[in-house]
Amino acid sequence: MALIITLLTTGALAGALGRLLLGRLRRGAVVRPGWCEVANALLWAIIGAATNSMPPWWTPVMLALSWFAVLLVTTDLLHSRLPDALTLPAYPVFALLLTIASLAGTGPTTLVRATAGAALFLCLHATVHMLAPNAMGGGDVKLSGTLGAILGAVSWLALAAALTLAAVITLCLRAISANRWRDGIPHGPGLLTATWLLAFLPTQHP
């Protein structure tokens, strides 16, 4: 219980810092107080509650994924973009975390899958962007490599499952509020949500 309370508190603080960061970006993304704080606090608390079924070396990956996901989903939903200031630094952050997870956990196989997953996801999303730029933005392409690495570290099946689940979530967004976005339905929230769920599920931990 103490761990959950600690993560709830620190998660809210991390969410607040993230919200302030969004406002200070070159193309600032203004977010109302409370959204990032509550969302990140809840996700971190959920991770804390699942520590008994989650390998300890996977927990930092999930905490970092939650923080990036909250900020990126919020920005994409409100401003229809995924800032380079978040998508690009995510590469070295998760490269380090996945390397640590590989060394402390399942060995080099996880790191090999992560590297392959990043390359596959990046190539796939870049191809879609070139063929149909209105269907997928450049920010989605930049984000895809990091998420592909995380999903690849989980399993090969997670890569395919994430594509399907992300498409379903995006279709749900279209059905709920298609008129909200003039430039098309954002794909980032679906991809981030799918990645978080697949990385969190106990049956999917690497």
CA dist 34 and 18 (Å) reads: 11
Global pTM reads 0.92
CA dist 64 and 77 (Å) reads: 20
Of the ranges 9-18, 31-40, 184-193, the best mean pLDDT one: 9-18
The pair phi, psi for residue 60, each rounded to 5°, is -60, -35
What pLDDT, in 10s, does the model give residues 16-36? Answer: 999 998 888 877 677 888 899
What pLDDT, in 10s, does the model give residues 81-129? Answer: 899 999 999 999 999 999 999 988 778 888 999 999 999 999 999 998 8
